[in-house]
Amino acid sequence: MSENNSPPAILITGAARRVGAAITSALHAAGANVIVHCNHSRKDADALVLELNTQRTRSASILQGDLLAYNALKGLIDQAASAFGRLDGLVNNASAFYATPIGSIVEDHWNELIDANLKAPLFLSQAAVPYLRKTRGSIVNIVDIHAERPLKDFVVYTVAKAGLAGLTRSLALELGPEIRVNGVSPGAILWPDTVSGSNDYPETERQRIVAQTPLQRVGAPADIASAVKYLMLDAPYVSGQILAVDGGRGLSL
Ligand SMILES: NC(=O)c1ccc[n+]([C@@H]2O[C@H](COP(=O)([O-])OP(=O)(O)OC[C@H]3O[C@@H](n4cnc5c(N)ncnc54)[C@H](OP(=O)(O)O)[C@@H]3O)[C@@H](O)[C@H]2O)c1
């Protein structure tokens, strides 16, 4: 992962808040320059970029765009690569997440959930390949333990993340030897901001999930961030792997 003496430059999608912001801060703390992608959360992204640039001058840059806009995806990668004159890493973290019980699914749900969680990672990765080949870079996809075992009532999201797991392994096969591709599958880390328009993720549901987890607690964004940092920067002989960071919950789903 080196082209010249400048630090590696890594694009993180959906990086303004929550897990994406933790991944961004961890990669930055490890010495990378970061390109902070956001869509609606511009204020949060601006604040994060300001904070990181205060820590280290010209080490963070912002990139805004809707990942549902297929025609803009290649341009986003080109912009990301021009921010620091190189691109060493892509973290496909951005995601749409909501329930789609059978009987309620319409084409718009399919398009948004598949496009945000699967189509955008594929086309961003494809556009990044020429840059990543030059730097012997790496891609990390943020998957979900429910890619392996379905989440009840979340049919389309489950299909999209299962596709992302397949994409991770398929790209690892296609892109060696220059580019490594891996995934991180979070368990329960942060409760969703909204569930069916409500901000209250049901307490009984939280308790049920914690009880199901061998480590008997939810994880923290920093847990996901350290796994991403490991796969992105410290695992030169690892490719095609999807690391569950779930307190063991995948064992009892
Ligand atoms: N939170 C958990 O416990 C958990 C569990 C399992 C898996 N995961 C996975 O871990 C990752 C991060 O989780 P999270 O809960 O932090 O994610 P999140 O808050 O649900 O979403 C992250 C970001 O994705 C961006 N995004 C969504 N649709 C977009 C679009 N069309 N174009 C551009 N950006 C878009 C949003 O950016 P803006 O706000 O800028 O619009 C959002 O802030 C996701 O891939 C998620 O599936 C999380």
pTM listed for this prediction: 0.97
Q: Determine the distance from the C-alpha atom of residue 214 to the mean position of all C-alpha atoms in its chain, rounded to a whole number.
A: 25
| Helix (H) / strand (E) containing 115 | none
Calculate how far, in angstroms, residue 232's C-alpha sits from the geometric centre of ligand 1.
19
Q: How far apart are CA 96 and CA 98, in angstroms?
A: 7
Give 147's DSSP letter.
G
pLDDT of residue 194: 66
* Ligand 1 surroundings by CB, under 6 angstroms: 14, 16-20, 38-41, 66-68, 93-97, 116, 142, 144, 186, 188-190
pLDDT of 225 reads: 99
Q: Which residue among 19, 70, 93 has the greatest number of ligand 1 atoms within 8 angstroms of its CB, and so is best to mutate?
A: 19
* Residue of 39, 77, 111, 124 to mutate, ligand 1, most atoms within 8 A of C-beta: 39
CA distances from 180 to 233, 235, 248 (A): 11, 9, 25
Residue (of 13, 2, 131) closest to 73 by Cα position: 13
Structural domains of the chain in order of their starting residue, each with its CATH number: 9-252 (3.40.50.720)
pLDDT of residue 96: 98
> Which protein residue's CA is at the shortest distance from atom 47 of ligand 1?
95
What is Dmax (Cα atoms) for the chain?
A: 55
Which ranges of the chain have pLDDT less than 70? Answer: 1-3, 194-200
